[in-house]
Structure 1
């Protein structure tokens, strides 16, 4: 526990590190009685070693977009902010890899890479503020996961600071690195419960010469027709970067068409994109509306898309929640259809999209507190009935104490507990932030 004496000791111990004594309440929780802003990996190590020795709890924050993602404690003793730990460490244009500090925003990295005509092949939400460390810790991804993969597919190396301050490295800085176990996957998606990511090495991808987006809107809410068309697209020789179904509310917000709408995007050389667009035009079902966006329009659309989801930085007048759902890919249509019925029954508004190639759905819910909790429970039940899962990506702290963020524990939970106990026996890092309250 942080006392006045502890605060005095902290300020004396970390003279070179900016310390903020902030005891204000935040509606999303995951705060700290004291906030420390390290500027180097060694300073991160020093803070964690100090916290581990003195049994102080530590929360980690990058840009703050995922502040409402997990966590059953309002405040830790120390909030470790990586806001000042930013920058490019190493870029190898020929090898198409880049190493960056964890507090660097995703947009800053992409802007740096643009003159080299390269990019990180990830598409997280809120890219202007989301940091690469937070994206990797949450294994965040968007609709382009179908073509790009997730963080687990693109991260080739990590530098980590263990809860006791020890520095470790997993993976490497070259793409063809296959020796030993892939330890990166242990930390990617672990929500910062096993260590603080200090550096990330990622594979790069050339920026596509051309991009186009197609919208196929279905006038009648016929699930089988949507499913049949999606299967035809997936079975064809074309390779869409994303294949998403938008529910009427989200489609209306983004495309001004309040119908179930399929979003199909391509990026490649211009001739390849045009060829694939023509293939789609030749197989669209009757009684559908087909529209397309050109290069500049597509860029503007994605910018709106990635900032429409509630997050830790948005100020909403009503309570908002976000669910991430995983089901068999074609069942994404059923989830969105059932979510429409649940929205009416629970008196909430729902904006949702689901990956018809990945089965990953994102559902944003807005309304009164009790209505949102009821909707979450019913949507989770629907996902489980389809053999899937539903976790809460964003929810105010007061409501996270009333519902299980991660869902029911699985039979493998003891493995997670064992790993956490081995690496962080004093439960220093991000306590109760991961599956089962780990």
Structure 2
């Protein structure tokens, strides 16, 4: 197996985000992954597992591992059963590559994470990523039906199956989805698919801040109705200005269905919206272009080249769905009270909000601390999805340890007793 020095050529990894290593390997087969892990596990070395590296700013307290195991070259479709609407794919395949392949069969994988051109399906599953269309389609955890995983000692297990109706015992898939690569290296992923929508539209409803309560009342009414939006994403005025040229709170209501059903629902919004709300209806092409721009608003470790005195951070907040309104307003207050740039959006159907911060190290640390204090009062949590390692050592990426943390520790000890894989990458330094 050829080892490529991190300092050489295309494999240079910035030290800014840690989770790098003394050398890098890029296996192209499962057998090579097994061979690498057997060797390093026996020698007691530590391995950083990644796809293309977009999420190196997400968790982790180690600057250098002995080895970086990149799955970026271990890609491709293993099996696609069109009739059963399932696909098995290798982890280094990017979301865009997978969607482009499935498009030929009028199918899609129902996930819309950030940076689809660069994010790999393995990384998305390991981090349990999702996007604004989570309201209808769910997260990575909801679409995976089977995995193939290489343990740190090189042994292989298969979880789940290759058919949607799989009820054989405990759902082991969920152990690995969202575990940040700390339990095993995912070598195959089997997912259920959706048909491509026949038609889609995106409705933008914009209101001034003093009319936000009316938009909130409308959102409750919509969710109590028979209307079935794909997303209900609220943007703060700063992000709305960037994406829609309206510096107001803007609710994104997406519809995907046959054309008649979509048009009916768009008309329902027009009839029932607050009188003060400005409505814009985007065509299918305009909607796809909007979501394409929306997918690249968050920073990632491959493209964040802010000057040294500036820090960019992404905070993910989980709350009750309608509390997204309160969180975005609190974020706007914190922006005014601190010298930071801030853009925010949140799903008022599922309760996940994302705040993108830019500012000095001290200002970023202050805002994240104040955000967490605010979220705790609402029994929510705030995870830092993107931050340089210098600040990750001061700000716990994972918020508070859950009461069931001892279960995480026990599972890690059982599956990776030598702490070979992504050591200190997950909650509590696991």
Which TM-score band (shorter chain)?
Answer: over 0.9
- Matching residue of 2:319: 327
- Matching residue of 1:366: 358
- Matching residue of 1:78: 67
- Matching residue of 1:122: 111
Give runs of ≥4 in structure 1 deviating > 3 Å.
220-223
- Matching residue of 1:8: none
CA distance in 2, matches of 1:173, 1:120: 15
- Matching residue of 1:414: 406
- Matching residue of 1:376: 368
- Matching residue of 1:166: 155
- Matching residue of 1:7: none
Residue 22 (structure 1) shift: 2.0
* Counterpart contact for 2:28–2:73, Cα < 8 Å: yes
After superposition, what is the alpha-carbon deviation per residue over 1:117-143, rounded to whole angstroms, capped at 9, x for unaligned? 000011111000100000000000010
Residue 222 (structure 1) shift: 3.9
2:25 aligned with 1:36: yes
CA distance in 2, matches of 1:286, 1:219: 12
Partner SS state of residue 33, structure 2: helix
- Residue 260 (structure 1) aligned to one of 249, 255, 259: 249
Residue 246 (structure 1) shift: 0.4
* Counterpart contact for 2:211–2:276, Cα < 8 Å: no
- Matching residue of 2:3: 19
- Matching residue of 2:195: 206
CA distance in 1, matches of 2:142, 2:24: 33
2:213 aligned with 1:224: yes
1:16-415, aligned counterparts within 5 Å? 18-23=2-7, 25-317=14-306, 318-415=310-407
- Matching residue of 1:10: none
- Residues paired across the two proteins, number: 422
Unaligned 5+ runs, structure 1: 1-13
CA RMSD of aligned residues (A): 1.0
Unaligned 5+ runs, structure 2: none
After superposition, what is the alpha-carbon deviation per residue over 1:295-345, rounded to whole angstroms, capped at 9, x for unaligned? 110111011000111111113323100011100000011000000001111
* Counterpart contact for 2:212–2:249, Cα < 8 Å: no
* Counterpart contact for 1:223–1:334, Cα < 8 Å: no
- Matching residue of 1:11: none
Residue 388 (structure 1) shift: 0.2
Partner SS state of residue 376, structure 1: helix
TM-score (norm 2): 0.97
CA distance in 2, matches of 1:409, 1:88: 38
CA distance in 1, matches of 2:270, 2:215: 15
Residue 279 (structure 1) shift: 0.7
After superposition, what is the alpha-carbon deviation per residue over 1:409-431, rounded to whole angstroms, capped at 9, x for unaligned? 12111111111011111000001
Residue 223 (structure 1) shift: 4.1
CA distance in 2, matches of 1:253, 1:381: 29
* Counterpart contact for 1:213–1:264, Cα < 8 Å: yes
TM-score (norm 1): 0.95
